[in-house]
Chain A
Amino acid sequence: GQSLEQPSEVTAVEGAIVQINCTYQTSGFYGLSWYQQHDGGAPTFLSYNGLDGLEETGRFSSFLSRSDSYGYLLLQELQMKDSASYFCAVRKSWGKLQFGAGTQVVVTP
């Protein structure tokens, strides 16, 4: 079958580090994207891994291991504004993304 698995919710305090794991089983794989979505808002692009390894963008980093069908998003120095849903998405073809169900990150003071 085809699936993406990510935790439904993660809670952490301000200043902490959070890792959101994403495992996938899919036919067709170009790479793994990450999107952030605040309640009632539009998804916004965070990061993309087309190759194995770590991509760093400010406080956020993303990692991919194709051999393990696994990736993660790392959120460092958590801020209250980071409270949102985070989606991993497999790029299955040139134009098609398959999204996971999302991980709700709750940041507490």
Chain B
Amino acid sequence: GAGVSQSPSNKVTEKGKDVELRCDPISGHTALYWYRQSLGQGLEFLIYFQGNSAPDKSGLPSDRFSAERTGGSVSTLTIQRTQQEDSAVYLCASSPPGGGAETQYFGPGTRLLVL
């Protein structure tokens, strides 16, 4: 079956523009997670969804970042008024019903460059 997919794979934008990043989880997976990874660094937790609800959004860096999930499937991460420090790889992951955060299946990521 298909894995987690993300689009676009690469995004170059100008400082101050808004961007939307999309994540399609594995079919049937109820939990969905967003992370950010800077070059050579570990993964920084942003937010997770259980169904369409986000029980923990504590990792969102500022109010410029928001995320939503519809139909218990696709999720969109929006960054408003992008800044150069937002440049990173944004990774999405999902996990199956009954599973917790320990076993996550990751997508290939969106590489965001803010000029």
Contacts and interface: CB of A to CB of B under 8 A. Distances in A.
Interface residues of B, number: 27
Interface residues of A, number: 23
Interface stretch (B12-20, B70-78, B98-106): B98-106
Contacts of A98: 45
B42 A44 contact: no
B55 interface: yes
Contacts of A48: 102-103
Given A42-B107, A42-B109, A101-B42, A93 B56 contact: yes
Interface in A41-57: 41-45, 48, 50
Given A43-B106, A44-B106, A95-B50, A87 B42 contact: yes
Interface of A: 30-31, 33, 41-45, 48, 50, 87, 89, 91, 93-102
